[in-house]
A and B are shown apart, each in its own frame.
Chain A
Amino acid sequence: MDREEIKVAVLRMEGTNCEDETVKAFRSLGVEAEAVHIKQFYSDMIRFEEQRSVFDYQCLVFPGGFSAGDYIRAGAIFSARVKSVLRKDIEEFIKMGYPILGICNGFQVLVELGALPGFDEDKPLAEKPEMALAMNDSSRFECRPTLLKKESEKCIFVKNLKKDVVMFPVAHAEGKVVFPSGKEDEYLERLTSNDQIVFRYVDEKGDYAGYPWNPNGSFYNIAGICNATHTVFGLMPHPERAFFGYQVGRREGYGDGYCIFRSVVDYLEKL
């Protein structure tokens, strides 16, 4: 499809953030993008011209933030709202090969939705969460740049990324990847053999390292993973905060985050 035909929705609700950065990143690549409140998909209180369907878009983004105040668990309420009204649509959307990106709180939403790790291609949203993003080992909100090593060749969000290591900032308190106890090795084996691990935290030499390089104590230094079809991607760090050079202390050009957005636009152009 032509670039001008591509439409991206960044899903908003109470407490989400960085919607504007995400919309701006997509728009600067020449595609149409807008922040859409979750209610615009289902509420009959919405004006006709503001009503939306998931299928108006070819890409959905769950942005960062503290949706619903992180009550219960980060992302749990956002995910419950999505599940209750959009479950079938989102499953259909994923099955059609359309990409979904979850950044930070958005990653937590995708995990709570059962969309990640998303091992079952026929059932893109699992009945129950199959992993968790637990409280950081430091018990603190970790807010600073992180270095990430690209691990996946198949994930459609990193196809355009030529560098081995990128710098995206993190800003979260609940970002530690946890798999069910006793099943860690089995999960790792499945993720690795299917090329679903997308980014791992590394130090300045590019080696896997513990805290503070791994800001949360994530299992296997995992920063981001994709589903079995490589089209649903969630990560704790914020690529939209490193899109333009000026966001990372450079006057010109782009930051490392550019390649994430560029890759998904390239993917959609080929659909």
Chain B
Amino acid sequence: MIADVYIELKEGVADPEGEATLKALRLLGFKRVKKVSTVKVFRIDIEARSREEAEREIAEMCEKLLANPVIQKYSIVWRE
């Protein structure tokens, strides 16, 4: 089973990388860009009996390592 784990900044947390990218895109002439957010994706290939079981384990991974709950949130999208 393969899951994409998205690590995003929580609402209200400053995203200087996103803002700097937005500024650069505007300078390049992409005037219609309204907002850029940085998101990190970890593609995780995991062996598990069920999706539920794997999802529980991935949630634990996020809490223990992949995300800092103070500024980040995570979501899981299954690829296969």
Contacts and interface: CB of A to CB of B under 8 A. Distances in A.
B70 A179 contact: yes
A134 B19 contact: no
A139 interface: yes
Query: Which DSSP category, helix, strand, loop or mixed, fits chain A's interface?
Result: loop
B13 interface: yes
B57 interface: no
Nearest to B20: A139
A139 B15 CA distance: 8
B29 interface: no
B65 A178 contact: no
Chain B interface size, as a band, is 10 to 19
B13 A178 contact: yes
A112 B17 contact: no
Contact of B12 (A72, A76, A131, A181): A181
Interface of B: 10-17, 19-20, 63-66, 68-71
Given A72-B66, A139-B20, 20 more contacts: A72-B65, A76-B68, A77-B65, A80-B65, A112-B68, A128-B63, A128-B69, A129-B68, A129-B69, A131-B70, A132-B68, A132-B71, A134-B13, A134-B14, A135-B16, A138-B16, A178-B71, A179-B70, A181-B12, A217-B14
29 contacts: A73-B68, A76-B65, A76-B68, A80-B64, A80-B65, A83-B64, A112-B68, A128-B63, A129-B69, A129-B70, A130-B70, A132-B68, A132-B70, A132-B71, A134-B71, A135-B14, A135-B15, A135-B17, A137-B14, A137-B16, A138-B16, A139-B16, A139-B17, A139-B19, A139-B20, A178-B70, A180-B70, A181-B12, A181-B13
